[in-house]
């Protein structure tokens, strides 16, 4: 991708970005010091496109700040007060439930830390929301609050998180990170936890299967180097756990805190630079959020072309930032969020707390399986009138059923279910024998899995049924399947775990702790049936105009023809992100057949026959 740089110092950094090499602290400083902000934005946008295509996510969420009474006295906080203050308030569980409605997908809970609330009150808030609104995901309590619970109620951090998870906690917000600098902590929030405790809480959450967000409060007294060190520490933690969903740069709101930065508020240029640099430095983070509450609607809109792919959401009843002088509207309506995203030339994608798409608000959307095995279809893909939405197989099928995706490499099971509405194209994702990215990691051999519990990645729509066929028809074994949520999981409670895509590739190379046996499902199928296995087929909506179908067929065929002689070249960047060498990428991609021939059609017929022989209620298609 050619760029016209006005700042020659960005050229070696751009080479690193295109090659998938990690940026250094010195690189980050060069990015902050450049005046070539347009090129900086284009570099960040390039990385964002690799990760999330044209998608920009938002969520219908409700912010709950249950009390503003707090034992701490942080200089930068204009929200917290002491008990007895005329502005003090405390919400009961009933008050909280009264603010919620069934369409809310995420309940975000943070607040002050009063001295007299019992532990059960915090747990009851989570439990009550989960019971009354089971379809809403609860994202609750910052690391500061978790540490407060740990110390006040004499519970370990792990036990605090276990009890909250059992009550219905799904994820954690990233607040309380501020800036990972002891100098800044001593100046502004010396009563608050520092980096060591913040990371201890979040790593413990990840180990328990609770994904979390992360933040950085910038624009007060921190240096540019301290901002970058903050990002690097987050990047190192993500290398270790993989549990962070998103990074949220939070522009400091001075309000009446008594802290007066030189320019009072951060500038739009500083905000956009920080968004872009975050995207470039945090190469292992899936998402970067442009939090419109603090950035303003206008800056957040531009940020969507500077590396950000998330706008947060409706954020009803948010008080902390606004008490400190945030200038954005108190509540931005769903329709306005959709308009902002569309105006930026992106696909508005309504999501849940794990970033699973719930609704897509755009026309001519093409699904893209976001794994290395799909790169040959998209590396040379000319979008023209189409927009690309990276989405895992199971979720792609759900959106197709809702009429929100017009075409894509649909999971074979989703194609079978929607065959009357879909027209098959001559392309597929099929294996010749082994696949290396649909793997069962097990503590037991096949026969010993009878009656055991297998964790199933939430991403699969076909592999789970292949596993069922192998267990029941090849080995005469029945097991219980349990869907796992997206993101990090506590695998230890399962007897075996089915993983697919890039995670399976990575784990196949590096292992999964506690699981000594590894089975390649495609190889198991081939050894049994001496047939390839078709995991996905390209299909389009039959209702589309004929000229659109022809155009898409030609685009896919052209991209594939360009990619087939150059597997190592086109897959190298993606492979590097999951720890594969250039040779490993080439070996992996050459193991696929991307064109739908008679052998593949015969394998599809055989698999369909076996599936129909198994009782349909043994494994729910949607669980």
For residues 115 and 509, what is the distance between their CA atoms, to the nearest angstrom?
A: 49
Q: 459-492 pLDDT, tens per residue?
A: 999 999 999 999 999 999 999 999 998 888 999 9
Q: What is the mean pLDDT of residues 169-185?
A: 93
pTM for the model: 0.90
Q: At what angle do helices 567-577 and 11-19 cross, to 10 degrees?
A: 100
Three-class DSSP category at 92? coil
102: alpha, beta or left, given left = phi > 0 and alpha = psi -120 to 50? Answer: alpha
Q: How confident is residue 67, by pLDDT bands cut at 50, 70 and 90? A: confident
User: In this model, does residue 570 exceed pLDDT 90?
Assistant: yes
Phi, psi of 28 (to 5 degrees): -60, -40
pLDDT at 75: 52
Q: 5-18 pLDDT, tens per residue?
A: 999 999 999 999 99
Mean pLDDT of the chain: 91
Place of tokens 């009264």: 98
User: In this model, does residue 192 exceed pLDDT 90?
Assistant: no
pLDDT at 251: 86
Residues 6+ apart with CB under 8 A from 419: none
For residues 527 and 532, what is the distance between their CA atoms, to the nearest angstrom?
A: 10
For residues 345 and 56, what is the distance between their CA atoms, to the nearest angstrom?
A: 10
Report the residue count for the chain: 623
For residues 468 and 623, what is the distance between their CA atoms, to the nearest angstrom?
A: 15
The separation between CA 351 and the C-alpha centre of its own chain, rounded to angstroms, equals 10
User: In this model, does residue 127 exceed pLDDT 80?
Assistant: yes
Q: 493-550 pLDDT, tens per residue?
A: 999 999 999 999 999 999 999 999 999 999 999 999 999 999 999 999 999 999 999 9
374 neighbors 408 (Cβ within 8 angstroms): no
Per cent of the chain over pLDDT 70 is 91
Q: What share of the chain is helix, strand, coil (3-state, %, to 5)?
A: 45, 20, 40
pLDDT at 29: 98
Residues 6+ apart with CB under 8 A from 90: 66, 67, 69, 114
Provide the sign of the torsion angle of the four alpha carbons 130, 131, 132, 136, taken in this order.
positive
Phi, psi of 536 (to 5 degrees): -150, 150
Q: 341-369 pLDDT, tens per residue?
A: 998 999 999 999 999 999 999 999 999 99
Would you call 39 exposed, middle or buried from its count of C-beta atoms within 10 A (0-12, 13-18, 19+)?
Answer: buried
If one compares 187 and 272, the residue with the highest pLDDT of the two is 272
Q: 138-163 pLDDT, tens per residue?
A: 999 999 999 999 999 999 999 999 99
pLDDT at 73: 56
29 neighbors 288 (Cβ within 8 angstroms): no
For residues 525 and 268, what is the distance between their CA atoms, to the nearest angstrom?
A: 56
Q: 222-280 pLDDT, tens per residue?
A: 999 999 999 999 999 999 999 999 999 998 866 555 555 555 567 899 999 999 999 99
Q: Which of 82, 259, 260 is nearest to 188 (CA)?
A: 259
Q: Which of 443, 431, 408, 438 is nearest to 503 (CA)?
A: 438
User: In this model, does residue 65 exceed pLDDT 50?
Assistant: yes
Place of tokens 């993606």: 574
Residues 6+ apart with CB under 8 A from 350: 57, 58, 59, 60, 105, 357, 358, 359, 360, 361
For residues 15 and 18, what is the distance between their CA atoms, to the nearest angstrom?
A: 5
DSSP 61: E
For residues 25 and 43, what is the distance between their CA atoms, to the nearest angstrom?
A: 17
Q: Round to the nearest angstrom and report the end-to-end CA distance of the chain.
A: 41
Residue 217's DSSP bridge partners are 250
Q: What is the mean pLDDT of residues 423-446?
A: 96
CA 301 to each of CA 132, 311, 322, 344: distance values in angstroms, whole numbers, following the listed order: 35, 9, 20, 7
Q: How confident is residue 81, by pLDDT bands cut at 50, 70 and 90? A: low
Residue 351's DSSP bridge partners are 357
Q: How confident is residue 320, by pLDDT bands cut at 50, 70 and 90? A: very low
Place of tokens 């203050």: 85
pLDDT at 259: 53
Query: Three-state SS across 488-527?
Result: CCCHHHCCEEEEEHHHHHHHHHHCECCECEEEEHHHHHHH
pLDDT at 68: 81
Q: Which of 195, 46, 102, 2 is nearest to 573 (CA)?
A: 46
Q: How confident is residue 318, by pLDDT bands cut at 50, 70 and 90? A: very low
Place of tokens 């917000």: 173
Residues 6+ apart with CB under 8 A from 310: 56, 57, 58, 246, 287, 288, 289, 290, 355
159 neighbors 151 (Cβ within 8 angstroms): no
User: In this model, does residue 44 exceed pLDDT 90?
Assistant: yes
pLDDT at 300: 85
For the sheet with 347-351, list strands across it: 310-313, 55-59, 347-351, 357-360
The separation between CA 502 and the C-alpha centre of its own chain, rounded to angstroms, equals 14
Residue 64's DSSP bridge partners are 109
If one compares 297 and 480, the residue with the highest pLDDT of the two is 480
Q: Which of 66-80, 431-445, 523-537, 600-614 has the lowest mean pLDDT?
A: 66-80
Q: What is the mean pLDDT of residues 165-170?
A: 97
231 neighbors 251 (Cβ within 8 angstroms): no
Number of Cβ within 10 Å of residue 26's Cβ equals: 10
DSSP 441: E
Q: 82-93 pLDDT, tens per residue?
A: 776 777 888 999
pLDDT at 565: 95
C-alpha angle with apex 32: 31 to 38, nearest 5 degrees? 65
User: Over the Cα atoms of the chain, what is R_g?
Assistant: 25
pLDDT at 316: 53
- Dig out the tokens for 461 from the structure: 């729509």
Provide the sign of the torsion angle of the four alpha carbons 125, 126, 128, 132, taken in this order.
positive
Enumerate domains of the chain plus CATH numbers: 8-358 (3.20.20.70)
User: In this model, does residue 196 exceed pLDDT 90?
Assistant: yes
Q: How confident is residue 78, by pLDDT bands cut at 50, 70 and 90? A: low
For residues 463 and 229, what is the distance between their CA atoms, to the nearest angstrom?
A: 41
Per cent of the chain over pLDDT 90 is 78
Phi, psi of 140 (to 5 degrees): -140, 145
For residues 24 and 346, what is the distance between their CA atoms, to the nearest angstrom?
A: 30
User: In this model, does residue 130 exceed pLDDT 50?
Assistant: yes
Q: Which of 252-266, 574-588, 589-603 has the lowest mean pLDDT?
A: 252-266
Phi, psi of 203 (to 5 degrees): -65, -35
For residues 21 and 24, what is the distance between their CA atoms, to the nearest angstrom?
A: 10
């Amino acid at each position: 991708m050619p760029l016209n740089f006005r700042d020659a110092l960005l050229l070696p950094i751009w080479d690193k970005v295109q090659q998938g090499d990690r940026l250094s602290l010195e690189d980050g400083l060069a990015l902050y010091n450049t005046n070539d902000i347009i090129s900086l934005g284009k570099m960040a946008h390039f990385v964002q496109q690799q990760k999330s295509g044209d998608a920009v996510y938002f969520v219908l969420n409700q912010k709950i700040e249950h009390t503003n009474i707090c034992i701490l006295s942080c200089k930068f906080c204009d929200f917290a007060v002491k008990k007895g203050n005329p502005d003090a308030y405390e919400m009961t569980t009933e008050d909280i439930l009264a603010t919620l409605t069934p369409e809310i997908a995420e309940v975000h809970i943070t607040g002050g830390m009063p001295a007299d609330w019992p532990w059960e009150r915090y747990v009851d808030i989570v439990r009550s929301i989960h019971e009354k609104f089971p379809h809403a995901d609860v994202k609750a309590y910052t690391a500061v609050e978790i540490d407060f619970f740990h110390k006040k109620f004499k519970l370990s951090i792990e036990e605090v998180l276990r009890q909250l998870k059992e009550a219905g906690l799904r994820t954690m917000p990233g607040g309380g990170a501020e800036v990972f600098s002891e100098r800044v902590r001593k100046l502004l929030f010396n009563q608050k936890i520092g980096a060591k405790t913040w990371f201890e809480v979040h790593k413990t959450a990840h180990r328990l299967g609770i994904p979390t967000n992360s933040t950085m409060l910038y624009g007060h007294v921190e240096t540019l180097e301290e901002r970058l060190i903050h990002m690097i520490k987050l990047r190192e933690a993500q290398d270790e756990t993989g549990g962070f969903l998103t990074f949220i740069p939070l522009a400091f709101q001075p309000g009446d805190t008594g802290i007066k930065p030189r320019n009072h508020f951060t500038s739009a240029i500083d905000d956009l630079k920080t968004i872009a640099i975050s995207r470039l430095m945090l190469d292992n983070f899936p998402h970067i959020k442009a939090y419109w509450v603090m950035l303003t609607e206008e800056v957040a809109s531009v940020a969507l072309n500077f590396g950000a792919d998330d706008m947060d959401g409706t954020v009803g009843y948010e008080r902390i930032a606004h008490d400190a002088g945030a200038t954005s509207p108190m509540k931005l309506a769903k329709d306005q969020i959709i308009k902002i995203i569309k105006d930026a030339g992106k696909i508005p994608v309504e999501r849940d707390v794990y970033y699973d798409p719930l609704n897509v608000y755009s026309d001519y959307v093409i699904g893209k399986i976001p794994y290395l095995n799909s790169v040959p279809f998209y590396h040379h893909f000319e979008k023209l009138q189409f927009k690309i939405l990276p989405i895992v197989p199971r979720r792609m099928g759900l959106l197709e059923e809702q009429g929100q995706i017009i075409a894509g490499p649909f999971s074979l099971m989703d194609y079978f279910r929607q065959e009357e509405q879909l027209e098959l194209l001559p392309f597929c994702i099929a294996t010749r024998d082994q696949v290396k990215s649909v793997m069962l990691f097990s503590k037991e051999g096949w026969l010993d899995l009878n009656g055991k519990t297998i964790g199933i990645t939430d991403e699969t729509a076909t592999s789970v049924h292949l596993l069922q066929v192998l267990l029941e028809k090849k080995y005469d074994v029945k097991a219980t399947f349990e869907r796992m949520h997206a993101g990090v999981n506590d695998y230890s409670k399962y007897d075996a775990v089915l993983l697919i895509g890039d995670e399976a590739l990575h784990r196949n190379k590096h292992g999964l702790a506690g699981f000594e046996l590894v089975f390649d499902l495609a190889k198991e199928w081939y050894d049994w049936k001496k047939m390839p296995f078709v995991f996905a087929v390209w299909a389009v909506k039959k209702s589309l105009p004929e000229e659109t179908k022809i155009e898409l067929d030609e685009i896919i065929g052209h991209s594939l023809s360009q990619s087939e002689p150059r597997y190592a070249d086109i897959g190298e960047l993606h492979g590097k992100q999951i720890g594969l060498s250039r040779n490993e990428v080439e070996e992996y991609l050459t193991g696929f057949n991307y064109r739908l021939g008679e052998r593949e059609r015969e394998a599809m017929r055989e698999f369909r026959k076996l599936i129909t022989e198994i009782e349909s209620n043994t494994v729910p298609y949607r669980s």
